[in-house]
Amino acid sequence: MHADAFDRYYAAESTLHRLDPRIKVVVTVLFILSNALLLDGAWAAFGLGWIFLLLANSASNLGVDFTFRRSFIALPFMLVAVSAIFAPSGQPLAEWRVFGISLVPTDVGVIRFGSILLRTWLSVQAGILLVAVTQFPDLIHAFEHLRVPAVLTTIIAFLYRYLFVLTDEVLRLLRARDSRSAAIPGQKSGRSVFWRAQIAGHMAGQLFLRSYERSDRIYNAMLARGYTGQMRTLRAHVMRRRDWLVLSVSILALLFVQLIGRIG
Amino acid sequence: MPVTHPTTHPTIPDYACDVLQVNDLHFSYPDGHSALHGVTLSLCKGDKVALVGPNGAGKSTLMLHLNGILGGKGGVSVAGMPVNDKNLPQIRAAVGLVFQNPDDQLFSPTVFEDVAFGPLHMGYPEDEVRDRVETALARVRMSAYRDRLSHHLSMGEKKRIAIATVLSMSPQLLVLDEPSAGLDPRARRTLIHLLKELDITMLVSTHDLALAREIFPRMVIMDEGRIVADGPTAELLENVPLLEAHGLEKP
């Protein structure tokens, strides 16, 4: 039994899957930036952004509503923006009393909250789409080519690689604990919450010790194979005409979204 | 003659023994990979059985069913109790499952705490727990290691402590997953003595057929999720074509 809960790559044959990973990263970052730059209440531009996203979805052959269906996972985080509703400027819409504190939602606040919600929603979906159509090693490679510092990409690559190993280790530890979590008839089992918390603490400690020792072994194995601080890969990506075309069209589309956002 | 099971065998074998009864067990992993196709097996009190077969034959998967960590289709009962959610806590007291990697089993800072985990969880009073830990450590000849740190022990020591962690729960059935893997000859020899001495019903998966011949009078061969042979170890080990057909070598 292995943990594959983290891999979000969905294999398919599509234009988006075949696209150069650098283009996918750049367009995703530009899309998120464009969302962030849109003014509050630029609904037409947000709508265009959403259409851009839907087009990208359909180009991925994963289904037009692919990212929408998966975006709800980020909903709890978006609720952090709820406080924006009570912006001090603007016309008060109502007055709520909560635990003796007066909360006044304003029109400006509601518009701001709606805009934050849409911005986040669109950006999260872009991220979901990016990792769904790009293999993780390609993503790392794209970062390297885009001059992200090697230390960062190496850390991300190792994190990804050993996340699975560690999760498997946790699963096996939990399984071993469950196997000995027994009871005898007529006797209360499991002792106190405090005792169980202590056991969980020990397990976390063991996990840390093992990860720490494992990282040492891995580093030694890397040194033994001539590691000098530079990760080298053989995966060569070459920009083709289609890649340039997608990049230019996407930039033009995002500029158009910004234009609509400013004049609309 | 070795008993050769047909592909599915829904009838209970002729000798009814209730320490362990596995009846036509089927299991597929969530990814669709099918691991067990109709496994039927029973163990009588005092049976010491070797479970052999190539990697991926389904040995570990079968073992994880014996205390309800995995739940496939078909019947498993231990000590007369069917394995279900209601019986699970008692099943886990009755089956002492020792994992292949002792590092999974030993998650407490000291040897004492690890061996005490099972009895403490079951709710025994402290004096009784202490007695049980001492007895279990004495049975694996590791009494002197009571206060040592688990993760600084050698492989052979860890294996014996891992066995003690379930002996302290006084299980009716001991299930070991590849106990001799990764041991040096001396540690392997010590383990063989220990398993011979232990007067308890056991089912042990192993690739070490020489060890199987020495300790276990009965052997079960699994391949591709099925039991392909079940009989006296000495006879099965003479059947070279059978062994070779299932990726095993006569020791």
Nearest CB to A182; choose among B107, B109, B169: B169
Question: Cα–Cα distance between A161 and B97 in angstroms, integer?
Answer: 30
Whether A182 sits inside 8 A of B90 (CB atoms) is yes
| pLDDT higher than threshold 70 for residue A207 | yes
- Does A58 score more than 60 pLDDT? yes
What's the gap in Å between the CA of A178 and the closest CA on chain B? 8
Under the banding of pLDDT at 50, 70 and 90, the label for residue B25 is very high
Q: Do B99 and A172 touch (CB under 8 A)?
A: yes
User: What ranges do the domains of chain B cover?
Assistant: 20-103+175-245
The b/e string for B43-62 (b: 16+ C-beta within 10 A; e otherwise) is beeebbbbbbbeeebbbbbb
pLDDT at residue B13 above 50? no
**CA nearest to A140, candidates A32, A22, A227:** A22
**Range from A8-22, A210-224, B59-73, B202-216 carrying the lowest mean pLDDT:** A210-224
Q: Which candidate from B90, B94, B117 shows the least CB-CB separation from A180?
A: B117
pTM of the predicted model, to two decimals? Answer: 0.71
Average pLDDT on B141-145 reads: 93
Distance CA A171, CA A4 (A): 12
Distance CA A56, CA A67 (A): 10
- B20-103+175-245 topology per CATH: Rossmann fold (3.40.50)
Per-residue pLDDT reduced to its tens digit, B56-103: 899 999 999 998 888 889 889 998 889 988 888 888 889 999 988 888
Size of interface A-B (CB pairs under 8 A): 90
Q: What is the DSSP string of B192-207?
A: HHHHHH--SEEEEE-S
Closest approach of B3 to chain A, Cα-based (Å): 31
User: What is the ipTM score, two decimals?
Assistant: 0.71
| Chain A, nearest residue to B94 by Cα | A182
Q: Residue A183: which of B90, B95, B104 has the nearest Cβ?
A: B90
Q: How far is A204 from chain B (nearest CA, A)?
A: 9
pLDDT tens-place string over residues B92-134: 889 999 988 888 888 888 899 889 988 888 888 889 999 999 9
Which runs of E-coded beta strand occur in chain B? 20-28, 34-43, 48-52, 73-78, 81-82, 95-98, 173-177, 201-205, 218-223, 226-232
Find, among B75, B65, B59, B71, the residue nearest to B95 by Cα.
B65
| Nearest-by-CA chain A residue for B118 | A180
Q: What is the mean pLDDT of chain A?
A: 85
> Does A203 sit within 8 Å of B89, measured CB to CB?
no
Task: Give the closest of A183, A191, A210 to B93, CB-based.
Answer: A183
Q: What is the DSSP pairing of strand B34-43 with strand B226-232?
A: unpaired
Minimal CA separation from B142 to chain A, in Å: 20
Nearest C-alpha in B relative to A169:
B104
Residue B194, φ and ψ in degrees, nearest 5: -60, -45
Q: How far is A131 from chain B (nearest CA, A)?
A: 21
Query: How high is the pLDDT of residue B205?
Result: 95
Is the CB of residue B118 less than 8 Å away from at least one CB of chain A?
A: yes
Domain boundaries of chain A, sorted by first residue: 15-135+239-263
Q: Quote the tokens at residue A125.
A: 């979906």
Partners of residue A205 in chain B, C-beta under 8 Å: 109
